[in-house]
Amino acid sequence: MKPLKEMTKEELLAMKESLSAEYKEAQSKGLKLDMSRGKPGKAQLDLSLPLLEALSAKDEMMASNGMDVRNYGVLDGIPEAKLLMAEMMDTTPEHIVVFGNASLNIMYDTVARGMITGFLGETPWCKLDKVKFLCPVPGYDRHFAITEHFGIEMINIPLNSDGPDMDMVEEYVNNDPAVKGIWCVPKYANPTGISYSDEVVKRFANLKPAAKDFRIFWDNAYCIHHLYENQQDEILDIISECEKAGNPDMVFEFGSTSKVSFPGAGIAAFASSVANIEDMKKSMTVQTIGHDKMNQLRHVKFFKNRAGLDAHMMKHAALMRPKFEAVLKVLNDELGELEIGTWIVPRGGYFISFNAMEGCAKAIVQKCKEAGVVMTGAGATYPYKNDPMDSNIRIAPSFPTPEEMAEAAKLFVLCVKLVSVEKLLEA
Does position 48 interact with a copy of itself (CB under 8 A)? The reply is yes
Of the two residues 30 and 50, which places its CB atom closer to a copy of itself in the complex?
50
**Shortest Å, Cβ 16 to a copy of itself:** 39
Helix axes 166-175, 198-205, angle to 10 degrees: 0
Site mask, a copy of itself, residues 301-340, x = CB under 8 A?
Answer: ----------------------------------------
Q: Which of 31, 155, 178, 294 binds a copy of itself (CB under 8 A)?
A: 294
**Between residues 18 and 71, which has the closer beta carbon with respect to a copy of itself?**
71
Rounded Cα gap, residues 227 and 248, in angstroms:
32
Buried b (16+ CB within 10 A) or exposed e, 54-65: bbeeeeeeebee
**Residue 48 CB, nearest distance to a copy of itself (Å)?**
8
> Could you tell me the smallest distance in angstroms from the CB atom of residue 356 to a copy of itself?
27
| HEC profile of 357-394 | CCCCHHHHHHHHHHCCEEECCCCCCCHHHCCCCCCEEE
- Number of Cβ within a 10 Å radius of residue 301: 15
Taking each helix axis from N to C end, the angle separating 103-116 and 141-149, rounded to the nearest 10 degrees, works out to 30
Is 122 near a copy of itself (CB under 8 A)?
no
How many residues interact with a copy of itself (rule CB under 8 A)? 54
Sign of the CA dihedral running 133, 390, 138, 320: positive
Residue 293 has a CB neighbour count (10 Å cut-off) of 23
Q: Of 163-171, 257-265, 312-320, 415-423, which segment contacts a copy of itself by CB under 8 A?
A: 257-265
How far apart are CB 67 and a copy of itself at their closest, in Å? Answer: 9
CB of 15 to a copy of itself, least distance (A): 39
Contact range with a copy of itself by CB under 8 A, out of 98-106, 174-182, 206-214, 270-278: 98-106
Q: Using CB under 8 A as the criterion, what x/- string covers residues 53-92 for binding a copy of itself?
A: x-xxx---x------xxxxxxx------------------
Q: Contact, 300 vs 120, CB < 8 A?
A: no
- 3-state secondary structure at position 206: coil
- Asked if residue 386 lies in contact with residue 379, where contact means CB atoms within 8 angstroms, the answer is yes
The residue ranges that bind a copy of itself (CB under 8 A) are 37, 39-40, 42, 45, 48-50, 52-53, 55-57, 61, 68-74, 100-102, 104-105, 108-109, 112, 115-117, 126, 142, 145-146, 149-150, 258, 262-265, 283, 286-295
